[in-house]
Amino acid sequence: MPNKTSPVGLEKKNEVDPDAVEPQVPRPRKFDGTLFVKGFRLQAIEKISGRVLDGVIPKEALEFAGWDGSDDNVDKVPDMLWRTLVGDRGPNGHPPPAWYGRACLECLMQCNSSGDLNTKDIRNHKDTPETMRVFLERVQSVVWSRKFFLGDHEGFPPPIFGLAPKTARPGDIICILYGCSVPVVLREIKKRDLYEFVGECYVYGMMDGEAMPFARVGVPEYPYYERKGFTIV
């Protein structure tokens, strides 16, 4: 006879159906402060200029890009130089206008006695044309407090050229990370197979997917299972 003090079948309702138990999801591993990213190495930094201070681009930075101020190259500024100076962009992020190259050449003809390009002095000079001022404003916004570098060309020629963060130094590596819109600078932590993130960088001729052939396996597909990567701390 059923118990009058409790609803009929209460015992069955409280029973646990073993087939209805949800499987336990394993807990994710505790975050250890590292980030693993897929990508590949372009080159290591072999040479690097001093930091651009107060708008002065040092002579060695110009030489990295093939400009030495001699009579042999005063007729045309190397593309890699003037395009790097403006980040290969013009106003509002559009491709740079062709006259940037001519404006750059005029500026280079006014390097000081040490061979440095003082963009601030030229821009502030009362006789500087307005077009050159516009060009120099763009240059200053791109290069301010950064360093110019030249790669070691290990793996493929020629050495890469570009702009790195102010803390970059020789031996740092320029990498392409999948999913990242720009190349980056990493610093290997010796004997630990770990890397430190130094910052983003500009690499001439490698900003719009041109580096992918150097991945050596063609353009990889997401989620990049077959690619190696870097553990960043």
Domain with 159 in it: 31-49+147-233
Q: Is residue 42 part of a domain?
A: yes
Domain endpoint, select from 145, 160, 189: 145
Kindly tell me if the per-residue pLDDT of 223 is higher than 70: no
Same-domain check for residues 182 and 122: no
- Segment 205-232 shows an average pLDDT of 72
Number of compact structural domains in the chain: 2
The Cα-based distances of 204 to 73, 182, 196 in angstroms read 20, 11, 23
Domain endpoint, select from 93, 115, 145: 145
Same-domain check for residues 77 and 42: no
Query: Residue 70 has what pLDDT?
Result: 72
Same-domain check for residues 66 and 120: yes
CA distance 75 to 98: 16
140 — pLDDT class (breaks 50, 70, 90): very high
Q: Is residue 6 part of a domain?
A: no
Task: Annotate 100-139 with DSSP letters as a single string.
Answer: HHHHHHHHHTT--TTS-EEHHHHHH-TTS-HHHHHHHHHH
Query: Residue 69 has what pLDDT?
Result: 79
Kindly tell me if the per-residue pLDDT of 172 is higher than 70: yes
Name the DSSP letter for residue 169: -
Q: Is residue 135 part of a domain?
A: yes
127 — pLDDT class (breaks 50, 70, 90): very high
Please tell me the least confidently modeled range out of 5-14, 72-81, 186-195: 5-14
Query: Residue 153 has what pLDDT?
Result: 83
Instruction: Name the more confident of 9 and 119.
Output: 119
Same-domain check for residues 161 and 172: yes
Q: Is residue 10 part of a domain?
A: no
Same-domain check for residues 95 and 120: yes
In single-letter form, the type of residue at position 74 comes to V
How confident is the prediction for the chain on average, in pLDDT?
Answer: 86
Kindly tell me if the per-residue pLDDT of 84 is higher than 60: yes
Kindly tell me if the per-residue pLDDT of 128 is higher than 70: yes
Please tell me the least confidently modeled range out of 22-26, 76-80, 150-154, 182-186: 22-26
Please tell me the least confidently modeled range out of 58-67, 206-215, 223-232: 223-232
Query: Residue 21 has what pLDDT?
Result: 59
Q: Is residue 69 part of a domain?
A: yes
> pLDDT over 70 for what percent of the chain?
79
Domain endpoint, select from 81, 110, 145: 145
Name the DSSP letter for residue 212: G
- Segment 146-169 shows an average pLDDT of 92
Same-domain check for residues 211 and 156: yes
List residues bridging with 195 in a β-sheet. 188, 232
Same-domain check for residues 68 and 180: no
Same-domain check for residues 156 and 135: no
179 — pLDDT class (breaks 50, 70, 90): confident
Same-domain check for residues 95 and 204: no
Same-domain check for residues 140 and 157: no
Give residue-wise pLDDT tens across range 26-46.
Answer: 666 676 788 989 899 999 999
Same-domain check for residues 66 and 173: no
Instruction: Name the more confident of 158 and 23.
Output: 158
Task: Annotate 46-100 with DSSP letters as a single string.
Answer: EEEPPP-BTTEE-HHHHHHTT----GGGSS---HHHHHHHTTT--GGGPPPPTHH
Q: Is residue 13 part of a domain?
A: no
Same-domain check for residues 154 and 232: yes
